[in-house]
Amino acid sequence: MKLQHLSDQELVKRFIQGDQPSIEILINRHKNKVFTYIILIVKNQQLAEDIFQDTFIKVIRSLKDGKYRDNGKFVSWVIRIAHNLTIDHFRKEKQFSTFSNEDYEADIFNTRKLADGTIEDILVENQIVHEVKLLIEELPEDQKQVILLRHYGGLSFKEIAEQTGVSINTALGRMRYALINLRKLIEQKNLSLTKI
């Protein structure tokens, strides 16, 4: 059977047993999700790339050291590592809100292939996606973390509470306010979320 067809669980097992190509498949399978998670928080291309690499280096070392307890949620574990490294970075640098969006926007919104449609279509789509991305960015950091951990990490509210060091009730409250805020912002900006 081709490696691409194996589950995360099977690939992890094979890598731990010494099969190097398995980790490459795993990284390539989840790289876009992990990178998007990081860049939506740090809003800086170079920093996101650094944290992305550090995340997977830590993933590999932890797997080799036998620190991964397989519960069938490999990507959740990777997102948690990315989350912790991101938080560690901001703790060290204390630059939580000082990044420019310029690099990020230039890279994240110019990746659509011209073959996907006309230039006008792509520009319109990019503008909508840009507006949608701003919705997430405008949320307070604690609310943004909850929705990103839910979406990209697939974490339960209990897991988010543990990850962020708050009670389940607080995690739920943050999600609730995030959703209320997003709904308000969508209305204010008169955004249509029906179709790009």
Partner 1 sequence: MVNVSTLFYVLENLEGKKDELIDLEEILAMEQKVLKRIFEMIDQAGVEVDPSLVENVLQSTCNK
The contact set with partner 1 (CB under 8 A) reads 20, 23-24, 27-28, 31-33, 35-36, 39-40, 49, 52-53, 56-57, 60-61, 64, 108-109, 111-113, 126, 128-129, 132-133, 135-136, 147, 150-151, 167-170, 172-173, 175-176, 179, 182-183, 186, 193-194, 196
The CB-of-20 to partner 1 minimum distance in angstroms stands at 7
Tokens at 49, concatenated = 């790339």
The CB-of-168 to partner 1 minimum distance in angstroms stands at 6
Q: In this complex, which beta carbon is closest to partner 1, that of residue 65 or of residue 91?
A: 65
Radius of gyration of the chain (CA): 18
Dist. CA 190–CA 192, nearest whole Å: 7
The CB-of-27 to partner 1 minimum distance in angstroms stands at 5
The CB-of-155 to partner 1 minimum distance in angstroms stands at 13
The CB-of-107 to partner 1 minimum distance in angstroms stands at 8
The CB-of-109 to partner 1 minimum distance in angstroms stands at 7
Q: Is the dihedral of CA 83, 87, 88, 90 positive or negative?
A: positive
Q: In this complex, which beta carbon is closest to partner 1, that of residue 94 or of residue 120?
A: 120
Q: In this complex, which beta carbon is closest to partner 1, that of residue 90 or of residue 125?
A: 125
Q: In this complex, which beta carbon is closest to partner 1, that of residue 52 or of residue 74?
A: 52
Is residue 149 within 8 Å of 33, Cβ to Cβ?
Answer: no
Dist. CA 101–CA 94, nearest whole Å: 17
Dist. CA 40–CA 21, nearest whole Å: 29
| CA-angle at 156, arms to 154 and 158, nearest 5° | 150
Q: In this complex, which beta carbon is closest to partner 1, that of residue 94 or of residue 114?
A: 114
Q: DSSP characters for 90-122?
A: HHHH--TT---SHHHHHHHTS-S-GGGS-HHHH
Q: In this complex, which beta carbon is closest to partner 1, that of residue 11 or of residue 147?
A: 147
Is residue 174 within 8 Å of 146, Cβ to Cβ?
Answer: yes
